[in-house]
Chains A and B, each alone.
Chain A
Amino acid sequence: MARPRDDGDVRAALAGKTVIYEFEKQTFFASGRTSFDAGILDWGHWEVRDGQYCSLWPPSDVWACYDVSLRNWAGVTQVRFTGQDGDESLGTVME
């Protein structure tokens, strides 16, 4: 998977997109809001810092940041988020 080169690339990869995980989906609004739907809808905030994707999910006031890598295969874009502890999540990007 290729890592986006800078903040603008990360933002362009996610803004206005919905990522489908195994059973859940998350939408990244260009406004900086993000929603996570696992049957119950959660709302958070996202932004890009130093080439990393960062998110905040109230009531927590702690931002968590992840490396983002992308892979386009047969017209399908996959995204991988990797946290500081090496925890990963893989999803498919929908327009």
Chain B
Amino acid sequence: MTLQTGTPAESRFTGRWFIRRDIFDFDSQWSGRFQGQGHFRPISRYGRAYAEEGTLQFAGLHSVKATRRYGYEIAGPDRVDVFFEDGRFFHHFDPAGQEAWAEHLCDADLYEVRYLFDADDRWRAEWRVEGPRKNYRMVTRYDRDQARLSEPLRR
């Protein structure tokens, strides 16, 4: 019998991650930073409910609490689909390599992302958003919460 092992994408998009997100708005010249935690909760073998929460601070302003939620579907070893919280399709990318590109058009604003999968416990997403209403760059770094791994949760 051949054992069905999880794909690298199944493992990567599981569990808890520390997040640091740097944002730079080219029009206003404002910079901001989000710091928090995100977790991928399995809702099926290939489905994940992603949620993150933390604090967002723009230079010179008070920090505010911020949250995000997305749905991830591991459609195959070389395809991950990302959905907005309301179920609308966002984008898809290939998680099999060390680098992946994707884009999403929202009205006239173009969202382009470059994913970099540096290591099993580290990855990042570099977004460039450009259009009539938006003009910013956003880099998110994900580092796995190693403490969670050491907890004896398995049965």
Chain A residues with CB under 8 Å of chain B are 18-27, 29-31, 33, 35-42, 44, 53, 55, 57, 66, 81, 89, 94
Contact (Cβ within 8 A) A31 B3:
yes
| Given known A38-B148, A40-B120, contact A24–B14 (CB-CB < 8 A) | yes
CA distance A42 to B45 in the complex (A): 16
Main secondary structure on A side of the interface with B? strand
CA distance A95 to B14 in the complex (A): 19
Cβ contact of B40, chosen from A23, A53, A89, cutoff 8 A:
A23
> Number of residues in B with C-beta < 8 Å to the partner?
26
Cβ contact of A24, chosen from B1, B42, B43, B121, cutoff 8 A:
B42
Which residues on A sit within 8 Å (CB–CB) of B28?
none
Which residues on B sit within 8 Å (CB–CB) of A37?
6, 10-11, 14
For chains A and B in complex, what number of residue pairs have CB atoms within 8 angstroms? 75
| Given known A35-B5, A38-B14, contact A81–B155 (CB-CB < 8 A) | yes
| Given known A29-B3, A37-B11, contact A24–B153 (CB-CB < 8 A) | yes
Asked whether any CB of chain A lies closer than 8 Å to the CB of B154, the reply is yes
Contact (Cβ within 8 A) A23 B15:
yes
Enumerate 17 A-B pairs (CB-CB under 8 Å) in ascending A order: A18-B45, A23-B15, A23-B148, A26-B154, A29-B4, A30-B1, A37-B10, A37-B14, A38-B149, A38-B153, A39-B12, A40-B120, A40-B149, A41-B11, A53-B155, A55-B154, A94-B45
Contact (Cβ within 8 A) B11 A40:
yes
Which residues on B sit within 8 Å (CB–CB) of A30?
1
